[in-house]
Structure 1
Amino acid sequence: MKRALIILLSVVIAALISGCSKEPTPEERFSQYVKLWNDQKFEEMYGFLSEKAKDSISKEEFVSRYNKIYKDLEINELKVSYKQPKEEQEHEENAELPFLAKMNSVAGPIAFDHNATLVKEEREKETNWYVDWNTTYIFPELEAGDKISFKNVQAERGSILDRAGNGLAINGTAVQIGVVPGELGEPKEQTITKLAELLEMSEEQINKAMNAGWVKPELFVPLKKVSKTDKGLHEKLFALDGVTSQMVGAREYPYGEALSHLIGYVGPILADDLEELEGKGYTATDLIGRRGLEQVLEEQLKGTNGVRISIVKEDGTVKTLAEKPVENGKDVKLTIDVVAQQQLYDQLKGKAGTASAINPKTGETLALVSAPGFDPNEMALGISQNKRKMLEDDPFKPTLNRFKLTYVPGSVIKPITAAIGLESGKLQLDTAFDINEKQWQKDASWGKYKVTRYSDVKGSINLEKALIYSDNIYFARSTLEMGQDTFTEGLKKFGFEDQPEYLYPIEPSQIGKIDSEISLADSAYGQGQVEMNILHLATTYSPLVNEGNLVKPILNMEDEQGQVWKEGIVSAENAAALNGMLTKVITDPKGTAHNGLIANYPLAGKTGTAEIKEKQGEKGKELGWFVAYKPQSTDMIVAMMIEDSGSKEVVTRVKEFYELRLQSGM
């Protein structure tokens, strides 16, 4: 019995020893290699290579090649699969094992079948299986001496168009100024000095470009892009020896300053942008929206670059591995009427201000102007530091976008105040106050503060006279009787402190803090802390000609027209009465907008002069306002504001705008 147990134990031990010393199979070895590959552990993978494979590539080269290819091609979701056979196969010196590799790349999915060859080798007195690697394991088509080509196919940026299809931002051309070093002539330094002056570059920048490693005396060295329309600059540049040019693609803004704040411009993408936008298809050579709608609509305009990953064979033939087709950016058509935009901008030349024009029935924004503007073409091509500083130091602040901001509206708010009072029933069409004084206060509790009127009309002042003569005291008194809650709720019905979805981000008009009778009285005639943006101002007059509805403003031609923002906020009776009164603001010889009278073209409107000052008694900065429209057939409401101006000048400029429209048959 004891002898039998010893024999049995010996058999078990022998079996265990035999199992421990069993040679690994090629299937097991390749499974280990595949796991490392899926984990992209390239250094450890190198240890599985055959001696022949190691002779063809060093460990450093092997690891760096895989890392570079996978990084450059943005390889992700790598899955290499090899399924071991159920039954163990017999192999002598080598084994052929099939595998499947799948991965995603920047150009889309890549998949391939391939066979791995494993060879049996003895190392340090141990026999094992090693992968007889070559470049076809990366991609089957990639043989020794072949190269991987990674090519970006640039997407064409979408254009921004006006309502008639006129290009506001288009893909055009510019003049690339450069030099041929061997043709600069003598003295070369003098030419470079003059060239630097004309291009507003430093001599150091020009010399650095000409001393780049690739430069040869006969080659064109690009320096700076300039506008193709600047013929005077071209003549001066081409008069210099060795200076020449090439036409290159560039973003163009045909209407320049007039649309600079609305459309904006593009510029080169920066390192910070690339980091922030990683994974969104941008490259270091892309342009990106820097301001205006170019920035707001970047995702829509940019499109998606196409990518082609290919293997270029030694004989020059090309095999495509993966390709993502280019998707050009989408064009955007605006509701803007570029003629109206240009005409309104021209009326503001020499002044700082803003203007808007809307169709009160459809809500279409026909013009949205901020003046002065800047040259977006110059910005896109690369403005010099000197010119940028000039813009920043300009007292008119040409880089400030005024149409997106809010301002104290002054008396242009009075028709809104009147409509709120009439609709609430707390103000009647015949409500009148006996007003003879120049200044007024409710009682002694107001201290030294008084409401000042600028009209010299005395006696009984009703709503019509109050609008015609723009009487501050009338609106202060009527709104005090109306009450704070009625007034603020009424303003909200007119869209204050609200902003419907709009293509361009604009600050909503604000009621501000009304915490006293004085602030309520001031707010009634557009002082206090009430602030409005120019687009909303034009929109607030739409209920007077749009069946009492406040129209929703739109800027994109694809948006639904005639959307109601606030419904039925002015009755037909009150709208008709207010239109009649606002017509007399212009037709009445003593009306504040009488200088806006156009023969046979009855406009209605309201002036405003807002004064921004620290305290009563001081002279503050004035903002001149005017809103005008034709009540009988209204397809346009125009609002304009000019800084450091009274309303009379604004009325004159709006009148000239309408006269131009009439002359051109619009």
Structure 2
Amino acid sequence: MKKFVFISILMSLIFLAGCQEKPQPDERLEAYVKLWNDQEFAEMHSGYLSQSAKETYSEEEFSERAKDLYTDLEVKNLQVKFDKPEEEQEWDDQESATFPVEIKMTTLAGDIQYEKEVELVKETKEDQENWYLNWDPSLILPDLEQGDKVRIQTVPAERGDIKDREGIALAVNGQAYEIGVVPEKFDKANMQKVADLLETTPDYIEEQMNQSWVQPEHFVPLKKIPMTNRDLAVELTSITGVFNQKVEAREYPYGEATAHIIGYTGKITAEEYEELKDKGYSDQAVIGKRGLEELFEEKLRGTDGKVILIEKESGDAVTIATKEVKQGEDVKLTIDANLQKELYEQMKDETGTAAALNPNTGEVLSMISVPSFDPNEFALGISSTKYKALQDNPDQPLLNRVVNAYSPGSTMKPITAAIGLNSGKLDPAKAYTIEGKQWQKDESWGGYKVTRVFDNDTKVDLESALKFSDNIYFARAGLDMGADTFQQGLKNFGFGEDIPFAYPITASQITNEGEINKEILLADSAYGQGQILMSVLHLTSSYGAIINDGIMMKPLLIAGAEQEVWKNDLLSKENAELLKTDLRKVVTEGIAGKAAVEGKAIAGKTGTAEIKSEQGTTGTENGLFVSYDQDNPEFVLAMLLENVEDRGGSTHTVEVTKKFYQNW
């Protein structure tokens, strides 16, 4: 019985073996294509290549080359398509079979798509007959043959320029001096002198000269310096063995005057590359690091062109993919380069910020932060010594004061007046009786009192309060209009919301908590102290609303952008005219008399913001002056200077502003 069972099983196995289907070439190719799409190169080589293909292409050459090429060419979305024939074909008597495959991929130079005839041959290996591919390199890339080299050419995109309203370049693709030495001509006795002039070290120069590629007759680059620093280039090249050559570089013609707003470019860091490499950046890319260079990086940088070439042993080249270069776009600003430069010249020895804006259009003509720095040095690679000096400078030249919010001091008073007039809760003819320099509402204020600078008037109306910047008048006016009305008026002026501007500016605040919940805080806020904070740009825009008859325009930085109303109905035309008259009298009859300029009708309001911990203590002071020429109100200018407590307070800011108007 057991013998019968054994014979039955054996016969069954023989029967199944005899009925097993022979391998078919289309099925083998179908399996190979699946591995190909999965990029399983090792298995493709070991199990599917013909003997002749294996002898010609080792597993390393086959697998590693394919992997490396796909990586270098940034191949994505690889799709190899084989349509298996619908009609069955008899292959027993055939020794070879040919089928078309379609190969698609996306590369760093665009899409590659081509068809290839794939030949399979019948071979017997280990007593088993099967079909194997006669593989060749053109299955990796079209027209690729053994011995060919694949090259990637980059066509650099030109970075767009940043220009002012008249097309004057503020950031441009220019040139720089590249300073270097030729070792066989350079006397190392001058090493320290060159190092000092380049603000580097002898060790650094030695390190550059000892690089593996350097030959005695080679030019060894050491440092790039701005074209504006020609005197330094001349001094350096007067040293034997020191030479210069002109190289492409980002250039900032207005230097320190536009540094904070324009920013600068620099080589991408490792951290930045990890974040940006999927957006087409290389590890050698130059990117915007600060200001508008960073803010408009995507628009300015453009996209490099790419070409994938196959170089034949004959020297011929075959282009298999091309991505056209896309040049960076220019950015044209509303900034007036000449106004920016003149304003900077008057402020460059100060610490502070300023902004100028056209009240009728909202176009921002100037934004200044001082002290400043030279963006050309950053773009070319600032020395560690100079960078540390900037960092350690107590005046903080790297700080962009344009974006910060400050206490507006008494420049807040015209805004408070506008809120009161528009709400109907401030009568400009009403005079408060104010005696002495200090006042408090009642004993509930404890020891806290509001102090005014001048006590020449005892009957103080709006005109007098503005001319002589009376804190007590505005404290009482604020209390009379009430916290709700005052806060709503501030919100109508844009407090507590983001400034709708292309450049990020800190939002103005009413209080630290967001609302006024105490009488003393209301009184202080109404004359510009308390916890109110404003940027100079918002301050400028707010005065623009007075000049523009109650309409505050959206501040614009990009030339050609649509002019839009940001806030409307902030003042009636009648009340706007009243405030404009009073602002002129601040100069002709009031405390800003030193702002008077021959040939101009300067109007405005001064302000002193005390930076101290509590009443009764001393601290630093910021001096402010917001002004415009009533005869030609093409712009309103707000200037804030820090640490003016020993320089005449806000009068110092008035004097600096006056110098600007005299030269403009």
Equivalence for 1:173: 175
Equivalence for 1:597: 596
Shift of 1:51: 2.0
Q: Which amino acid aligns with 2:650?
A: S
Shift of 1:160: 0.2
State how 1:337-376 maps to structure 2 within 5 Å. 337-376=336-375
Shift of 1:271: 1.6
3-state SS, counterpart of residue 279 of structure 1: helix
Structure-2 change in CA distance of 1:205 and 1:51 (3 Å)? farther
Structure 2 residue 573 is matched with structure 1 residue 572: yes
For residues 332 and 286 of structure 1, the distance between their equivalents in structure 2, rounded to whole angstroms, comes to 20
Shift of 1:558: 2.5
Shift of 1:12: 8.5
Shift of 1:10: 11
User: Structure 1: any 5+ residue segments left out of the alignment?
Assistant: 1-7, 662-666
Shift of 1:413: 0.6
For residues 310 and 503 of structure 1, the distance between their equivalents in structure 2, rounded to whole angstroms, comes to 42
For residues 13 and 127 of structure 2, the distance between their equivalents in structure 1, rounded to whole angstroms, comes to 24
For residues 213 and 392 of structure 2, the distance between their equivalents in structure 1, rounded to whole angstroms, comes to 40
Equivalence for 2:655: 652
Query: Which segment drifts farther, 320-329 or 222-231?
Result: 222-231
Alignment deviations for residues 516-560 of structure 1 (CA, whole Å, 9 cap, x no partner): 111111101110000010011011012222131111110000311
Alignment size in residue pairs: 648
Q: Pick from 79, 87, 101: which aligns with 1:99?
A: 101
CA contact (8 A) 1:157 1:303 kept: yes
3-state SS, counterpart of residue 599 of structure 1: coil
For residues 486 and 275 of structure 1, the distance between their equivalents in structure 2, rounded to whole angstroms, comes to 51
CA contact (8 A) 1:159 1:168 kept: yes
| TM-score normalized by the length of structure 2 | 0.95
Shift of 1:75: 0.6
For residues 244 and 500 of structure 2, the distance between their equivalents in structure 1, rounded to whole angstroms, comes to 46
Equivalence for 1:23: 22
For residues 219 and 630 of structure 1, the distance between their equivalents in structure 2, rounded to whole angstroms, comes to 61
Q: Percent identity?
A: 49
State how 1:566-645 maps to structure 2 within 5 Å. 566-588=567-589, 591-645=590-644
For residues 19 and 558 of structure 1, the distance between their equivalents in structure 2, rounded to whole angstroms, comes to 81
State how 1:362-401 maps to structure 2 within 5 Å. 362-401=361-400
Shift of 1:50: 1.8
Q: What RMSD, in angstroms, separates the aligned Cα atoms of the two structures?
A: 1.8
Q: Pick from 137, 157, 160: which aligns with 1:158?
A: 160
Query: Which segment drifts farther, 258-267 or 200-209?
Result: 200-209
Shift of 1:600: 4.0
Shift of 1:198: 2.1
Q: Pick from 494, 518, 532: which aligns with 1:516?
A: 518
For residues 34 and 18 of structure 1, the distance between their equivalents in structure 2, rounded to whole angstroms, comes to 29
Equivalence for 2:68: 68
Query: Which segment drifts farther, 579-588 or 647-656?
Result: 647-656
Shift of 1:269: 0.8
Equivalence for 2:148: 146
Q: Which amino acid aligns with 2:72?
A: D
3-state SS, counterpart of residue 336 of structure 1: coil
Shift of 1:234: 1.4
3-state SS, counterpart of residue 277 of structure 2: coil
**Large movers: runs of 4+ above 3 Å:** 8-16
Structure-2 change in CA distance of 1:137 and 1:353 (3 Å)? same
Shift of 1:14: 6.3
CA contact (8 A) 2:499 2:506 kept: no
State how 1:227-626 maps to structure 2 within 5 Å. 227-512=226-511, 513=513, 514-561=516-563, 563-588=564-589, 591-626=590-625
CA contact (8 A) 2:76 2:105 kept: yes
For residues 600 and 421 of structure 2, the distance between their equivalents in structure 1, rounded to whole angstroms, comes to 28
Shift of 1:141: 0.8
Shift of 1:166: 0.3
CA contact (8 A) 2:499 2:505 kept: no
CA contact (8 A) 1:500 1:565 kept: no
Shift of 1:140: 3.1
Alignment deviations for residues 224-245 of structure 1 (CA, whole Å, 9 cap, x no partner): 1111221222123212332212
For residues 169 and 599 of structure 2, the distance between their equivalents in structure 1, rounded to whole angstroms, comes to 35
Shift of 1:632: 4.6
Shift of 1:612: 0.6
3-state SS, counterpart of residue 218 of structure 2: coil
Shift of 1:13: 7.2
For residues 261 and 587 of structure 1, the distance between their equivalents in structure 2, rounded to whole angstroms, comes to 35
3-state SS, counterpart of residue 541 of structure 1: helix
User: Structure 2: any 5+ residue segments left out of the alignment?
Assistant: 1-7
Query: Which segment drifts farther, 211-220 or 348-357?
Result: 211-220
Shift of 1:58: 2.2
Structure-2 change in CA distance of 1:207 and 1:10 (3 Å)? closer
Shift of 1:11: 10
Equivalence for 1:198: 197
For residues 658 and 196 of structure 2, the distance between their equivalents in structure 1, rounded to whole angstroms, comes to 44
Alignment deviations for residues 110-134 of structure 1 (CA, whole Å, 9 cap, x no partner): 0111111222222222222211212
For residues 294 and 208 of structure 2, the distance between their equivalents in structure 1, rounded to whole angstroms, comes to 31
CA contact (8 A) 2:600 2:631 kept: no
For residues 307 and 301 of structure 1, the distance between their equivalents in structure 2, rounded to whole angstroms, comes to 18
For residues 314 and 500 of structure 2, the distance between their equivalents in structure 1, rounded to whole angstroms, comes to 58
3-state SS, counterpart of residue 363 of structure 1: coil
For residues 305 and 233 of structure 2, the distance between their equivalents in structure 1, rounded to whole angstroms, comes to 35
Q: Which amino acid aligns with 2:51?
A: E
Alignment deviations for residues 71-116 of structure 1 (CA, whole Å, 9 cap, x no partner): 1111111111112222224253322222110111111110111111
For residues 101 and 63 of structure 2, the distance between their equivalents in structure 1, rounded to whole angstroms, comes to 21
For residues 540 and 622 of structure 2, the distance between their equivalents in structure 1, rounded to whole angstroms, comes to 16
Shift of 1:324: 0.4
Query: Which segment drifts farther, 323-332 or 210-219?
Result: 210-219
For residues 283 and 120 of structure 2, the distance between their equivalents in structure 1, rounded to whole angstroms, comes to 42
3-state SS, counterpart of residue 194 of structure 2: helix
CA contact (8 A) 1:253 1:377 kept: yes
For residues 633 and 322 of structure 2, the distance between their equivalents in structure 1, rounded to whole angstroms, comes to 54
Query: Which segment drifts farther, 321-330 or 137-146?
Result: 137-146
3-state SS, counterpart of residue 278 of structure 2: coil
Shift of 1:46: 1.1
Q: Which amino acid aligns with 2:657?
A: V
Query: Which segment drifts farther, 624-633 or 71-80?
Result: 624-633
For residues 342 and 206 of structure 1, the distance between their equivalents in structure 2, rounded to whole angstroms, comes to 37
